[in-house]
Structure 1
Amino acid sequence: MNPATKKKIGIGVGAVVALLGIALAVFLLKRQELLQYALREVKAKVEKKYPVTLTLGPARFTDLNTVRIDGVTLVPTGQDTLLQARRINASISLKTLFARRPVFSDLQIDSARVTAQKTATTNNYAFFFAKKKPTVKRDTTQGANYGLLLNQLLETAFDNVPGEADFRSFLVTYRSPEHNATLTMPRFAIEDGDLTGQLTADIDSVVNTFGLQGHIEPGDYALDAKVYGLEGRPVVLPYVQRRYGARVQFDTVRVSLSDKDLDDDQLTVRGTAWARNFVVNHPKLADHDVRFPRSGIDYVLTLGKAYGAVEKGTKVTLNQMEFFPEVSVRKLPRQQRVMSEANGVESPDEMLAGLQVKANIVSGETKANDFFSALPQGMFSTLEGTQGEGTLTYRLLADLDMNQLDSLKFSSSLTGKNFRLTRFGREDLSKLNTPFEYTAYNDKGDSIKTFQVGPPNPKFVPFDQVAPYLKYAILTAEDPRFFTHKGFMAKAFVKSIIQNIKEKRFARGGSTISMQLVKNVFLTRQKTVTRKIEEALIVWLIENTRVATKERMMEVYLNIIEWGPKIYGVKEAAQFYFSKEPNELNLSESLYLASIIPRPKRYRLGFNNYGEMRRSARYFHRLIAQLMARKGYISQAEYEGLGYSVNFSNPSRMGFVPRPDTTRTVVAADSAQYQPLNLIDLLGGGADEGVNTNTPAEEGGAAPAQAPTKN
């Protein structure tokens, strides 16, 4: 190559380099100009949409397509600053930038501060939710469409998830008259859909430090995320603790959403939720922690117009035990809600008005030991360590229509197959068959007295040494089918639910003698939900494995129940009130003792100050005697000869005083404190219901095969 050629090539290369340099300079200048334009557009769009001032600091490219903005603030009009960020880095598509439609990605925010404040009259963040809050057009006569609402919430949340993001040193504070919250996030990142982060949350003085891991696919509306406590500490839910007085915590929770399908205004979502060491503590639930070591749900949920359902395909797991629930809840349109005394609804706006609930929950056939290990810790403390053979299956059916409350259907059953107990837990249920030490407690949990239940105690009375009158009176008033049922009175329980719903309180019980016995012998006096559930399971075990005979159960019951202040057992009762032995009690005395079992501390309730029986007490005595005569427990002559008085051996000890006017033997009734029973209800009810529970009594029939016989 000659020198002239080399020179020409050099000139050409130089020209190309120069042109490229000029082009690059123009590109960089134009790129920076377009960036400023894009940021002005962002600022104008935000300020047009919201009543705020958005300030963006100096912006520049740090490489070919990465933008750095030093300083961002967002100040609502007339309010304090809501957002500050020291630096934001983001990638920008040059193609979209030159097309003047910039698309940012790979968002990185460093040292951001969100400060939300609320006073009694205003706040600095409401504008954002007012604009973003999804609205659902609905027919107000049919109720809210929860399916459409949830669908909009899900789509709004998923559609605003950035593809790539990295938040560092992020601080969120919230201050209001009701709540204070501080959230500190050292780092949270989204990379190729993978979520990682750490957060310290101080909400109303409840402090949690937890980690977050998971994966999200915004386009598919799919999420799988795990939240777990750090530093060996559980995560405690703050709101429920302050609002409901309950402590709810967990070590790890994993939640997934795998699918959502909106069809004909009904949304169906599928996914899972699992928890490890999920703990609930509330005084009405239990007096200690209730712990679920490993529990979860594979859910299929449907939401629609005033409707929600747990669909077929849902599975709930407690350790090795599986349940398959199908539950639906519907709220009828306002104009279709029935208000009447029959359902206790006074206004169509009441929570229960027009409510319809259906439930069908069945467990898989479960090995006995898997069943006992699946019981939540702290809910069945008496049974902890219990073992058995065979299998158990549980089923619950319920159908409630508040427009037709009396049509309520409810059944709860546990079925055993080749089932037997091989080991008792903390309490030996078989102690009912031998002398044992019993401690009586008051409603506050204080011990009153301790005594032996059995022959070693001179006050113990064998079953056959109790007057038949008293046995029959108690059976008629408390539990007519005690000697034939398996521990429960289904019809009585349903009627109790109906009345309690009508009166919006626990106005009526449905306890059998078996349930009262278990409550007294094995459980505390605390009135909690878990104690009632534990009571039912122990009753089932005793009755279905024949731990004790019915006669022995009745014998123990008669010797431990309270019959008045610090009066325990039938012998003390017979001597205190009548100075008699239990086998010497007559019909009137037996009816009185049966009447005070539900309210032993109010043993004077049926009498005035002169010891004269009030009308309500006379009514009870005649009613029970009539039912006893109809079933052949007493003769018709004994019923007809029943008087209206009870002769106490020491009236002054009862607090009665002599009546100055001896010509008057009966005074007008004062039943303000003793609600009369409904005679029609009592005589026309089902065949397994008692009287003292304010439930219908057994209708006719001969005495049970194992019932007590006259001496």
Structure 2
Amino acid sequence: MKTRKQKIFLVTKIVVAFIVIAIIGIFSFREALLKQIIAKTTTKMEVDYSSRFLVKKASFEGLSGVYLTDVTLVPKNADTLFKIQKIRTSVNIWRLLVGDIQLGTLEIKNGYVQLTKKGKVKNFAAFLKRNKDEENSTNKRDYAAFAYRIISRVLNLIPTDMDVENLKFKLDDNGKKATIDIKKLVLANKELETSIHVKTNTFAQRWKIKGFADPRNKKADIRFFNIDTGAIKVPYFDERYKFISSFDSIRLNIENIDKSGDELHIDGFTSIANLKINHTRIARKVVLIKNARFDYRLLLGSVFVAVDSSSTMQFNKVKFHPYLAYETEEDTIYKLKVNIPKMKAQDFISSLPDGLFTNFQGMEAEGTFDYNLNFEYNKNKPKDLVFDSNLKKENLKITKYGEANLNKLNGEFIYRAIINNVLQRPVFVGAANPNYTPLDQISPYLQKCVLTTEDPSFFSHRGFINEAFKQSIIKNIKTKKFARGASTISMQLIKNVFLTREKTLSRKLEEILLVYILENNRIASKERMLEVYFNIIEWGPNVYGIGEASQFYFQKIPSDLTFNECLYLARIIPSPKKFMYQFNEEGNLRESAVQQVSFLTDLMIRRGLLTPDDTVFKSQPTVLTGPAKSLLRIKVKDTTVVDSLLVKEEFEF
């Protein structure tokens, strides 16, 4: 009777024999197998992507090595997608036996990969089409399983040893060109080092990537920097989108990729030094972020993708914890939470990126604050949007103002509007200006009408209206553009006096912060703010302030304006230069304008701002009597007497 050791030894011999036979079988038929794989790939490229896949020579080297020459992929009626002169690689036999392809080594000599767009023809267009099976599928994707499968496949295709020479990545977007030429890329003993030449229509540089890479254990720590002096410039985007950006160095660290149960965890950090950004939609000046770092923990489940709240974002001295989530279990839900722990106000101000907050340069503050934001949007229930913004301050006080001295509002000053980057004529805000009108000399009707149309809760809010923000966000998400703002009179005042009308991220962020400081530090009273607002806003072509407006439209002083005239002036504030379109060819208000008047009047009565007696003017027409009347497109009636005997009659046969 055989002992247990003898049985184990026998089983081992059988397994080894089976593996040897399998290897011999693979070894014997591998040339045929390689040809079959190439033929299958060629057919797939032809059928699915209308492209010709060519390999001049393909052969095995040793037990697991593959050698290919002149490998080419050419889409139909388009430029070659890639052409590589020599490829030498080895495959992990044991992984191949279970159906996985895992590269051991990779050597590439002389070749290029290019993306071109000539007119509307793209040589990569066929490869952007979605899989028909995916399009027809109604099943929800398991995000964790899908991501882990893709990551594993990609990492298996990254060899443990790699040697690349003269491989170019070329981009040609209708003449906007960029070439990244990898002169040398070596990965050996988990150490990566490269030499890269970059050339575009606007600059040429030499880059270097250096660090640690271990694809089998899913870890990496790579640094990206410039060999030459100066910052690394980002190619292509400057020509294509007028987006100019550069940085001194980038570091990418992947510490852990682990799937346990139904969740996938990805941990690590990334950092960047001296990031510079310049685009007309961001700011007028170059934006500089000296130091930024993101310690991330990404979580993926079967029905969600999230940046965990344990992640930390830091730029300069500002450090906060973001939480972002995309959930699809029942409804499609987007979540964003931001938590800034208690920090010094001065550290926050000094950390604001240069160029993005120009008006805060030189500002000094005392005290501390902490901040929390909670945002949640349900795509199927947009009205349930959550937007909670909460700032807690301790002894917070502005001790010195920067470029924007908010105390300016309490005294006399010269105001100059900026329209299309052009300074308009100066308007003196003070008693020396004969058109300047104190608040108590402006018709109460006008004050009520303007507050109703522009900012009904002006005297009770602190610069912002949460509900207006919510409605603005909902509409902007639905239209996928900034279709609606949420400006209060406070925000309009800050924008006019201290900022510009440019539609940039910088201007909007500065506006929000300056309004908060103005309203929460009681720098100017609400009455004073409203008075300045009435005396500087544009009310027509080269018409600024209520003093000029009442004369331009009605040849009156502001205190003598009727309810109808006040309602008219309030309604044209959003588009004052288009006031003439309120009237028809006879000089009367158009039907749409009459409906607006009726709606606003009823609204003011319901809110208790008017009584029925105040609407005595409602039945009277709104007639322009000032210089504005000459700009109306009134059709002159022909009063010529016609002799009926000279009129030819038309007969219908």
Contact 1:136/1:149, CA 8 A, preserved across alignment: no
Distance 1:262 1:104 in 2: 22
Q: Secondary structure at the match of 2:585?
A: coil
Q: Which residue of 2 aligns with 1:96?
A: none
Q: Which residue of 2 aligns with 1:474?
A: 450
Q: Secondary structure at the match of 1:474?
A: helix
Q: Secondary structure at the match of 2:619?
A: coil
Q: Which residue of 2 aligns with 1:580?
A: 556
Matched, 1:435 2:432: no
Q: Which residue of 2 aligns with 1:187?
A: 184
Q: Which residue of 1 aligns with 2:469?
A: 493
Distance 2:439 2:411 in 1: 14
Q: Which residue of 2 aligns with 1:698?
A: none
Q: 1:134 to 1:645 in 2, by over 3 A?
A: closer
Could you tell me how far 1:439 is from its partner in structure 2?
0.9
Q: 1:118 to 1:229 in 2, by over 3 A?
A: closer
Contact 1:46/1:54, CA 8 A, preserved across alignment: no
Post-superposition CA distance 1:441-479 (Å, at most 9, x none):
22x222221122122323222222212221121112211
Q: Secondary structure at the match of 2:602?
A: helix
Distance 2:588 2:74 in 1: 77
Contact 2:205/2:228, CA 8 A, preserved across alignment: no
Could you tell me how far 1:331 is from its partner in structure 2?
4.8
2:70 to 60, 71, 74: 74
Contact 1:629/1:639, CA 8 A, preserved across alignment: no
2:166 to 158, 170, 173: 170
Percent identity over paired residues: 32
2:291 to 294, 312, 328: 294
Matched, 1:542 2:518: yes
Could you tell me how far 1:573 is from its partner in structure 2?
0.5
Q: 1:404 to 1:233 in 2, by over 3 A?
A: same
Q: Which residue of 2 aligns with 1:316?
A: 313
Contact 2:360/2:402, CA 8 A, preserved across alignment: yes
1:123-522 matches, cutoff 5 A:
140-167=137-164, 169-174=165-170, 182-202=179-199, 207-238=204-235, 240-241=237-238, 244-305=241-302, 307-331=304-328, 355-442=332-419, 444-522=420-498
Q: Secondary structure at the match of 1:469?
A: helix
Could you tell me how far 1:437 is from its partner in structure 2?
1.7
Distance 2:135 2:300 in 1: 14
Could you tell me how far 1:613 is from its partner in structure 2?
2.0
Q: 1:78 to 1:621 in 2, by over 3 A?
A: closer
Equivalent residue letter for 1:171: L
Q: Which residue of 2 aligns with 1:19?
A: none
Post-superposition CA distance 1:587-618 (Å, at most 9, x none):
22211111111111111232212221223323
Q: 1:313 to 1:623 in 2, by over 3 A?
A: same
Q: 1:217 to 1:459 in 2, by over 3 A?
A: same
Distance 1:134 1:240 in 2: 29
Aligned length: 580
Distance 1:182 1:298 in 2: 32
Q: 1:59 to 1:605 in 2, by over 3 A?
A: closer
Distance 1:58 1:630 in 2: 87
Unmatched 5+ residue regions in structure 2? 1-25, 40-53, 93-101, 640-653
Greater relative CO (CA pairs within 8 A, separation 6+): 1
Distance 1:75 1:552 in 2: 75
Distance 1:285 1:194 in 2: 39
Q: Secondary structure at the match of 2:362?
A: coil
Q: 1:365 to 1:589 in 2, by over 3 A?
A: same
Q: Which residue of 2 aligns with 1:84?
A: 85
TM-score calculated relative to the size of structure 2: 0.78
Could you tell me how far 1:157 is from its partner in structure 2?
3.5
Could you tell me how far 1:522 is from its partner in structure 2?
1.0
Deviates more, 1:48-57 or 1:140-149: 48-57
Post-superposition CA distance 1:653-699 (Å, at most 9, x none):
2426487599xxxxxxxxxxxxxxxxxxxxxxxxxxxxxxxxxxxxx
Q: 1:141 to 1:578 in 2, by over 3 A?
A: same
Q: 1:380 to 1:190 in 2, by over 3 A?
A: same
Could you tell me how far 1:358 is from its partner in structure 2?
1.4
1:550-561 matches, cutoff 5 A:
550-561=526-537
Q: Which residue of 2 aligns with 1:691?
A: none
Contact 1:321/1:364, CA 8 A, preserved across alignment: no
Distance 2:593 2:137 in 1: 52
Contact 2:55/2:68, CA 8 A, preserved across alignment: no
Distance 1:603 1:77 in 2: 62
Distance 2:74 2:603 in 1: 79
Could you tell me how far 1:492 is from its partner in structure 2?
1.7
Q: 1:314 to 1:642 in 2, by over 3 A?
A: same
Contact 1:116/1:125, CA 8 A, preserved across alignment: no
Q: What RMSD in Å do the two structures reach over aligned CA positions?
A: 4.1
Q: Secondary structure at the match of 2:623?
A: coil
Deviates more, 1:508-517 or 1:306-315: 306-315
Distance 1:104 1:143 in 2: 32
Equivalent residue letter for 2:85: Q
Distance 1:235 1:378 in 2: 19
Q: Secondary structure at the match of 1:298?
A: strand
Deviates more, 1:605-614 or 1:320-329: 605-614
Contact 1:265/1:304, CA 8 A, preserved across alignment: yes
Distance 2:140 2:213 in 1: 33
Equivalent residue letter for 2:69: T
Distance 1:155 1:284 in 2: 39
Distance 2:301 2:248 in 1: 33
Contact 1:361/1:395, CA 8 A, preserved across alignment: yes
Distance 2:196 2:265 in 1: 31
Q: Secondary structure at the match of 2:349?
A: helix
TM-score calculated relative to the size of structure 1: 0.72
Post-superposition CA distance 1:537-562 (Å, at most 9, x none):
11001111122111111111111101
